[in-house]
């Protein structure tokens, strides 16, 4: 596990989750640095990796304030306030939108919920339509959009509410390689525009995570000496790719170091 600095904007302290007495998460501890590298441009992207069914989405829901942990706490901001519901933006896997409203209407509704003034509301909506390349789709309904366009609207919705944490649940699910590259490009684009933003994505796609993330968190279960898994997943390792010089690669070519790390992670998946 790599070393990091001591100034945090996100802390997960001994978070556990149980359903009907069955452990799902067990003593999860995470820390996200406020400034892991002062010279970096833009925000940071973190990938929460783990096999399907290990509890990644449940942990993401806890980070979003949508699910209360059985034990433990999540703290956000440099003042380390306890997480409140709605203080973190989340883009669910199926990009839920208000189907009866246009793209413009979706953004206006989210801005109104954030209690923006009339002037702020319309200025922010105009900015989001431009920023996410949706100006020509402003009067379209969600049913008329492609999957990629729906995803852009779902992300734009969250930015209408001035959030600095954006959580994305399985953004690469069901995509072909071209679609995965496009989503990676979008995540990089969003992160690059705001040095204060942190994007946390949940995925089991190792190569996509290595392609887009600055940091990887690996979620899995501990095992007894006989190999039997202990119920409840926890963080098994953190990999700081920027410190290793494995981010901001030109093109899609992966150097040997990235391919070696992929093989290492893939092998670890077999035992999580």
Opening angle at CA 220, ends 66 and 232, nearest 5 = 65
| Exposed / middle / buried, residue 211 (Cβ in 10 Å: 0-12, 13-18, 19+) | buried
Helix or strand run (H / E) with residue 91: strand 89-91
pLDDT, mean of each 10-residue run, the chain (272 residues): 58 94 94 62 85 91 90 80 70 87 94 87 91 92 91 87 80 82 84 82 91 93 91 93 71 75 89 82
Domains of the chain: 8-88+165-269 (3.40.50.300), 99-162 (no CATH)
Q: Backbone phi, then psi, for 62, in 5-degree steps?
A: -65, -40
* Ordered strands of the 71-76 beta sheet: 22-33, 8-19, 71-76, 81-82
Per the structure block, which two tokens stand in for 219?
Answer: 């979620």
**What is the model's pLDDT at position 116?**
87
The pair of three-digit structure tokens given for residue 119, joined into one six-digit string: 């002037």
Contacts 24+ apart (CB under 8 A), 129-137: 129/103, 129/104, 129/156, 131/156, 131/159, 131/193, 132/156, 134/103, 137/103
Judge contact between 90 and 170, C-beta under 8 A: no
pTM of the model: 0.83
Predicted pLDDT of residue 106: 94
pLDDT at 7: 66
164 beta partners: none
> Which residues contact residue 99 at a Cβ distance below 8 angstroms, ignoring those fewer than 6 apart?
141, 142, 143
């Amino acid at each position: 596990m790599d070393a990091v600095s001591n100034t945090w904007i996100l802390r997960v302290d001994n978070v556990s989750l149980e359903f009907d007495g069955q452990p799902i998460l067990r003593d999860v501890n995470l820390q996200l640095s406020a400034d892991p590298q002062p010279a970096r441009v833009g925000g940071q992207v973190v990938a929460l990796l783990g096999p399907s069914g290990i509890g990644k989405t449940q942990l993401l829901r806890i980070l979003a304030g949508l699910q209360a942990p059985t034990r433990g706490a999540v703290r956000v901001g440099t003042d380390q306030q306890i997480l409140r519901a709605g203080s973190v933006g989340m883009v669910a896997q199926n990009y839920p939108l208000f189907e009866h409203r246009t793209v413009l209407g979706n953004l206006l509704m989210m801005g109104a919920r954030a209690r923006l003034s009339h002037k702020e509301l319309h200025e922010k909506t105009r900015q989001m339509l431009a920023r996410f390349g949706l100006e020509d789709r402003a009067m379209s309904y969600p049913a008329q959009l492609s999957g990629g366009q729906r995803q852009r609207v779902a992300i734009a919705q969250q930015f209408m509410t001035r959030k600095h944490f954006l959580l994305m649940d399985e953004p690469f699910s069901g995509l072909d390689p071209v679609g995965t590259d496009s989503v990676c490009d979008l995540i990089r684009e969003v992160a690059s525009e705001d040095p204060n933003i942190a994007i946390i994505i949940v995925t089991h796609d190792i190569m996509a995570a290595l392609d887009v993330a600055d940091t990887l968190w690996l979620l899995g279960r501990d095992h007894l000496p006989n190999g039997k898994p202990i119920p409840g997943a926890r963080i098994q390792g953190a990999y700081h790719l920027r410190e290793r010089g494995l981010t901001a690669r030109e093109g899609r070519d992966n150097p040997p170091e990235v391919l070696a790390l992929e093989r290492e992670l893939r092998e670890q998946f077999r035992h999580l």
